[in-house]
Amino acid sequence: MEKERSFYQRLKEKGVSRRDFMKYCTALTATMGLSSSFVPGVAEVFAAPAQRPPVVWLHFAECTGCSESLLRSQYPYIDELVLEVLSVEYHETIMAAAGHQAEEQLQNAIKKYEGKFICIVEGGVGTKYNGGYGKVGGRSFLEIAKDVCPKAAAVIAYGTCATFGGIQAAAPNPGGYKGVGEAIGIKPLQIPGCPPNPINLVGTVVNYLLLGKLPELDDMGRPLFAFGNTIHDKCPRRSHFENEEFVEEFGSEEAAMGYCLYKMGCRGPETYNNCPTAKFNDGTSWPVEAGHPCIGCSQPNFWDTMTPFYEEM
């Protein structure tokens, strides 16, 4: 009770009302595919966490957009929520330590929490030349991944770079970049997207803390609650050529179809992600709603198989 009171007090100091917070929990619960009866439980995971799993967050080849999308854009207080439920032991972007001190922190964390920590990986891993195409603290990404990931209780590959290789794996891929699973032969839980939607990571973690298990996954290791449908399946622009009223309003099926971005190269029909329902930036909008075709950023081999952008497949 005391814990909960101080949590709401801290949110209030950040200008976030209990109502805003409940709105977020409701959206999160719906995204996780749970009924609304779970909303109070979800709120409690944040407000009075029973446990805070230690997290080691690794950065490999990427743009840090995955961390940025999590820490900045969605809700002004998402950082509070994340730091409330997770005990982040190592994260190069947000940690105060630097240099040798930071590396020491990583070693200490994996020793202290061996078999217990969650390892979140952001970025692709170079596999050619013994991983020589990318290093942190004098060690290659490949060496770090091989050292840290097997010691974790669970590995979450976060973003298209960590899941499928991403932009650095685009042809001609001189560094032999791959997703972390393929690079070191493990099967991580995968949350692709460039950037991924932070609600899918938070939903995965909350699912684990609330129900004591990871969400159901597809054969690529992606949570079904987020990647069970294509963009096209839930796209509101589809309604314009499938809904008689719209067709009537536009004058013909062809004219109504013009509202769809397929001819501008939309990859929605072959891209699995929940952007149309989860949206970005506090549920404000998402690419197709903002008038931009989906470029397939969460698919395997995004970049090569999705380019040239803006051309019909």
Where do contacts with ligand FSX occur on this chain (CB under 6 A)? Answer: 62-66, 122-123, 159-161, 166-167, 194-195
Pairing mode of beta strands 118-122, 54-59: parallel
Q: Nearer Cβ to ligand SF4, position 61 or 288?
A: 288
Contacting residues for 214 by C-beta, under 8 A, at least 6 apart: 154, 189, 204, 207, 208, 223
Nearest to 190 by CA among 210, 169, 163, 217: 163
Between CA 37 and CA 48 the distance in angstroms is 18
The conformation of residue 123, written as its DSSP 8-state character, comes to S
Distance between first and last Cα of the chain:
56
Site size toward ligand SF4, by CB under 6 A = 13
Partners of 61 in the β-ladder: 124
List 191, 201, 275, 278, residue binding ligand F3S (CB under 6 A): 275
Q: Does 258 sit near ligand SF4 (CB under 6 A)?
A: no
Cβ-contact 283, 30 below 8 angstroms:
no
Q: Does 74 sit near ligand F3S (CB under 6 A)?
A: no
The total of other beta-carbon atoms located within 10 Å of residue 272's CB is: 21
308 preceded by a cis bond (ω within 30 of 0): yes
Q: Does 235 sit near ligand F3S (CB under 6 A)?
A: no
User: Which residue sits closest to ligand SF4, CB atoms considered?
Assistant: 268
* Min CB(286)–ligand SF4 separation in Å: 10
Q: Does 295 sit near ligand F3S (CB under 6 A)?
A: yes
Cβ-contact 272, 230 below 8 angstroms:
yes
Between CA 152 and CA 169 the distance in angstroms is 25
List 78, 156, 288, 295, residue binding ligand SF4 (CB under 6 A): 288
Q: Nearer Cβ to ligand FSX, position 56 or 209?
A: 56
Q: Does 271 sit near ligand F3S (CB under 6 A)?
A: yes
**What are the b/e assignments for 31-68, b being 16+ CB within 10 Å?**
bbbbeeebbeebbbbbbebeeebbbbbbbbbbbebbbe
Binding mask 223-242 for ligand SF4 (x = CB under 6 A): --------xx--x-xx----
Cβ-contact 276, 239 below 8 angstroms:
no
Q: Nearer Cβ to ligand SF4, position 106 or 266?
A: 266
- Which partner in ligand SF4, ligand FSX, ligand F3S, none is near 237 (CB below 5 to 8 A by kind)? ligand SF4
Between CA 62 and CA 167 the distance in angstroms is 8
Measure Cα distances from 259 to 116, 254, 301 in Å: 50, 9, 28
Q: Does 227 sit near ligand F3S (CB under 6 A)?
A: no
Q: Does 286 sit near ligand F3S (CB under 6 A)?
A: yes
Q: Does 298 sit near ligand F3S (CB under 6 A)?
A: yes
Q: Does 55 sit near ligand F3S (CB under 6 A)?
A: no
Binding mask 178-217 for ligand F3S (x = CB under 6 A): ---------------x------------------------
Q: Nearer Cβ to ligand FSX, position 122 or 182?
A: 122
Q: Does 169 sit near ligand F3S (CB under 6 A)?
A: no
Binding site for ligand F3S (CB under 6 A): 193, 231, 271, 273, 275, 286-288, 294-295, 297-298
Binding site for ligand SF4 (CB under 6 A): 231-232, 235, 237-238, 260-262, 266, 268-269, 288, 294
